Structures are given as C-alpha cells and as structure tokens.
Structure 1
C-alpha cells in the first residue's frame, strides 16, 4: 500500500466516522428524548457525549491533516475550487457541531438533575433539545455536500 493509498483510506475512514457517529448520535438522542424518561435520557446523553469526544472529535482533528497530506501527495493545489469549498463547508459544519456538543452535555445534566430531584424535565431541556435538533440539519447537509465534492471534484472557479 502506498503512502497516498494509506492517506486516502484514513481520510475516507475519518469521513465515515464523522458521518456515521453523527447519524448514530442523532438517532439515539432523538429516541431517548421521545421517551421523556430522565433516566434514559441521562444515560443515552452520557454515552453520546463520550462518543462525540472519542470518535467525532478525533475524526474532526484528523480529517484536515489527512486531507492536506492527500492533496499534497496527489498534487492538488489547496486553491482548487472544490477543496476550498469543502474546507468552507467543514468550518460551517463545525460552527454547528461545537454548540451541539455543549448542548448535549447540558441536556445530559438537566436530565440527571430531573432524575435526582424526581421531577419532569424542565422547559429549558425542551428549548435546548429543539436547538440541538435544528442545528443537526445544516451540519449534516454540509457533510453530505463535502462527500459529493470529494467524490466528483467538480471544476469550480472561486477566484
């Protein structure tokens, strides 16, 4: 396996981890929230926070490194339109992902508090959950667009 092949493999695996972990986290958080059970929500949100830390954060850090290495190995200039647009979409997705991580931690803590106090979930939980849910759509759309750009490498003139 060449160095280029290794970089390509790592880059594709990182993209799969980003998308797959995001989709899995979204599914399990939605299902937990639908239960309205603070015990289930606290448990699932706790696992989600760990998964985001272990998998998503690691992939988020490695994707630009493997992408840069791959571009250099293949000889693509970083000013290629599809690469610039991919990077812009990556930052865009990150701007939605960072608050979502904080919201997941807060949702977990609010569910733990409701569980400890034997009370229903507070209104703040529902408000934060709605924001969390809405923020997922532009982030996922950006990641799908990045996949498309990586696969098709369209001739885009930006400058």
Structure 2
C-alpha cells in the first residue's frame, strides 16, 4: 500500500469517527435528557465526556494532519477551492464543538449534583442543554458539507 492510500484511509476513518461520534453523542445525550433523571443524565454525560476526549479530540487533531498530507501528496493547493472551503467549515465545526465540550462537562456536573441531593435537574441544566442542542446543528451540517466536499471535490 502506497503512502497516499494509507493516509487517505486514515483520513476517511478520522472523518467517520468525527461524524459518527458526534451523531452518537447527540443521540445518547438527547435520550438521557428526555428522561429528566439526574442519575441517568449524569452517567450518560460522563460517558459522553470520555468519548469526546478519546475519539473526537483524537480525530480533531488527526484530520488536518492527514488532510494536509493528502493535499500535499496530490498537489492540491491547501487554502483554495474545495479544500479551502473544507477548512472554513472545519473551523465552523470547531467553533461550535469547543463550547459544547465545556457544556457537556457542566451538564454532567449539574446532573451529578442534582442526583446526589435527590433533586430534579436545575433550571441551569435546561438552559445549557438548549445551547448544547442548538450548537449541534451548525457543527453537524458543516461536517456534512466537509464530507460532501471530500467526496465530490468540486471545482470553483
């Protein structure tokens, strides 16, 4: 297997991890949230924080490295055309993902405190959850755009 193919496989796996982990995290957090059970929410949020730390953060670092290597090996200009647009969308995704990581940690902590006290989830939890939920949409659609650009490689 040549270097280009090896790096391309790593890049595709990274994209799948980013998209799949993001979709999975959103699903499990939403399902836990719907129960309004502080213990379940705290447990799910803890798993989500770990998954984001291990999988999403690793892929976030790997994607620009593998993408940059692919662009270099293929002779594509790095900051123009579909690659430049992909980088802009990647920045959009990151701008929404970074606050979401902090929000997930805060949601976990609020749910833990409520569970320990035997109380329902506090209003602060619900305010943060709404922000978390809304921030997922631009990140999700930006990732869809990046994947489309990776596959279609349109000319501008």
The two structures share one fold, judged by TM-score above 0.5? yes
Partner of 1:8: 8
**SS of residue paired to 1:121:** coil
Partner of 2:91: 91
Partner of 2:155: 155
For residues 3 and 63 of structure 2, the distance between their equivalents in structure 1, rounded to whole angstroms, comes to 16
Partner of 1:17: 17
Partner of 1:45: 45
Alignment of 1:9-158 (within 5 A): 9-156=9-156
1:76-106 alpha-carbon deviations (Å, 9 max, x no partner)? 1113310000000000110000000000000
Alignment length, in residue pairs? 156
**SS of residue paired to 1:144:** helix
> Structure 2 length normalisation: TM-score?
0.99
**SS of residue paired to 2:87:** helix
Tell me the CA shift for residue 48 of structure 1. 0.1
> Structure 1 length normalisation: TM-score?
0.97
Please report the RMSD computed on the Cα atoms of aligned residues, expressed in angstroms: 0.6
Tell me the CA shift for residue 75 of structure 1. 1.1
Gaps of at least 5 residues in structure 1 are none
For residues 18 and 8 of structure 1, the distance between their equivalents in structure 2, rounded to whole angstroms, comes to 15
